[in-house]
Amino acid sequence: MQKRELGKSGLQVSAIGLGCMGLSYGYGPATAIPEAIALVRRAFERGVTFFDTAEAYGPYQNEALLGEALAPFRSKVVIATKFGFNFDANGGQSGMNSRPEQIRAVADQALKRLKTDVIDLFYQHRVDPDVPIEDVAGTVKALIAEGKVRHFGLSEAGAQTIRRAHAIQPVAALQSEYSLWWREPEQEILPVLEELGIGFVPFSPLGKGFLTGAISETTTFDSKDFRNIVPRFSQEARKANQALVDLLADIAAHKKATAAQVALAWLLAQKPWIVPIPGTTKLHRLEENIQAAEIELTAEDLGSIENALATIKVEGDRYPAHLQARVNR
pLDDT higher than 80, residue 329: no
pLDDT attached to residue 54: 98
Catalytic choice (57, 60, 123, 178): 57
DSSP assignments along 253-287, one per residue: HHHTS-HHHHHHHHHHHH-TTB------S-HHHHH
Return d(Cα 202, Cα 267) in angstroms, integer.
8
Residue 248 contacts residue 180 (beta carbons within 8 Å): yes
pLDDT one-digit tens code per residue, 220-238: 999 999 999 999 999 999 9
Q: How confident is the model at residue 90 (pLDDT cuts 50, 70, 90)?
A: confident
Q: Give the predicted TM-score (pTM) of the model.
A: 0.97
Q: Is 57 marked active-site?
A: yes
pLDDT attached to residue 326: 86
pLDDT attached to residue 98: 98
Fold of 3-208+270-295: TIM Barrel (3.20.20)
Smallest CA-to-CA distance from 163 within 328, 292, 304 is with 328
pLDDT one-digit tens code per residue, 290-299: 999 999 999 9
- Please give the C-alpha separations between residue 231 and each of 28, 157, 228, 324, in angstroms, as whole numbers: 18, 22, 8, 11
Three-state secondary structure of 163-192: HHHHHHCCEEEEEEECECCECHHHCCHHHH
